[in-house]
Amino acid sequence: SSELTQDPSVSVALGQTVRITCQGDTLKNSHPTWYQQKPGQAPLLVIYNKNDRPSGIPDRFSGSSSGDTASLTITGAQAEDEGDYYCNSRDTSGNQWVFGGGTKLTVL
Amino acid sequence: QVHLVQSGAEVENPGASVKVSCQASGYTFTTYPLQWVRQAPGQGLEWMGWINAANGNTKYSQKFQGRVTITRDTSANTAYLTLSRLKSEDTAVYYCARGNDWFDPWGQGTLVIVSS
């Protein structure tokens, strides 16, 4: 399968830790990238190469994976972390890309 | 600083074609591929295709095969997405993004409305 599955929504209390997961066969052999999107804005890369962060992304964001499931963890979630999070990976052919359906994160 | 600037919003009739541009600056245009991704209202991200900016080779999502064409003009540091035979379901924000295994940065997005 070339699909990536994400939970539609997740909530976390302010300052607590939250994990957003992404599941798919293609993840057995590759690490996804993770994007954050806030309303009315373009997506923003937050994790690539399994657990690398672009300049400017806080170190409370981290990535990990095991088997066919990858996770984006936010340790000490802040109000500004609210938004939609998408995982993305090449499909099983390696020639095309596929996005997960997205997870809406609410910080309570 | 790397920037991708896209063309403005478009309103098209069903059956027509639309061409969206993405002008790059801040890096050597031919050293990175450019991706196109769209997002229908209230929906998630959908990959459409990509172009090798150096040689013009392209790859398209099977969903859009036959309706989408991605081109580039290296003299203008610009990539183009053309989507033909538009349907109301093609109403979406269309994004370009730089990169191969990860997409960074993204353009600001271009809203395309398909309506009669």
Q: Residue B61: its chain A contacts at CB < 8 A?
A: 96
Which residues, 6+ apart, have CB-to-CB distance to A108 below 8 Å? A11, A12, A13, A14
Predicted pLDDT at A2:
60
pLDDT in tens, A78-107: 999 999 999 999 988 888 999 999 999 999
Beta carbons of B82 and B69 less than 8 angstroms apart: yes
Q: Reply yes or no: is the peptide bond before residue B14 cis, omega within 30 of 0.
A: no
Given a cut of 50, whether residue A1 has pLDDT beyond it is no
Along the 116 residues of chain B, how does pLDDT read in single tens digits?
999 999 999 999 999 999 999 999 999 999 999 999 999 999 999 999 999 999 999 999 999 989 999 999 999 999 999 999 999 999 999 999 999 889 999 999 999 999 99
Strands A9-12 and B18-25: unpaired
- Among residues B4, B2, B28, B15, which one has the least CA distance to residue B109? B4
Q: Residue B107: its chain A contacts at CB < 8 A?
A: 42
Q: Do A45 and B103 touch (CB under 8 A)?
A: yes
pLDDT in tens, B70-85: 999 999 999 999 999 9
CA distance A68 to A65: 8
Which residue is closest to B61 within chain A, CA to CA? A96
Q: Do A96 and B103 touch (CB under 8 A)?
A: no
Residue B56 identity (one-letter amino acid): G
Burial class (CB in 10 A: 0-12, 13-18, 19+), A67: exposed
Which residue is closest to A97 within chain B, CA to CA? B47
**CA of B75, closest CA in chain A: separation in Å?**
26
Which residues, 6+ apart, have CB-to-CB distance to A66 below 8 Å? none
**Count of CA atoms in the C-beta half-sphere (13 A) of B50:** 20
**CA of A48, closest CA in chain B: separation in Å?**
6
Q: Do B104 and A54 touch (CB under 8 A)?
A: yes
How many contacts (CB atoms, under 8 Å) link A and B? 55
Q: Do A49 and B46 touch (CB under 8 A)?
A: no
Q: Residue A33: its chain B contacts at CB < 8 A?
A: 101-103
Given a cut of 80, whether residue A19 has pLDDT beyond it is yes
Q: Cα-flanking dihedrals φ and ψ of residue A8, to 5°? A: -65, -35
Our CA angle for B60, B31, A100, nearest 5°, is 40
Predicted pLDDT at A94:
83
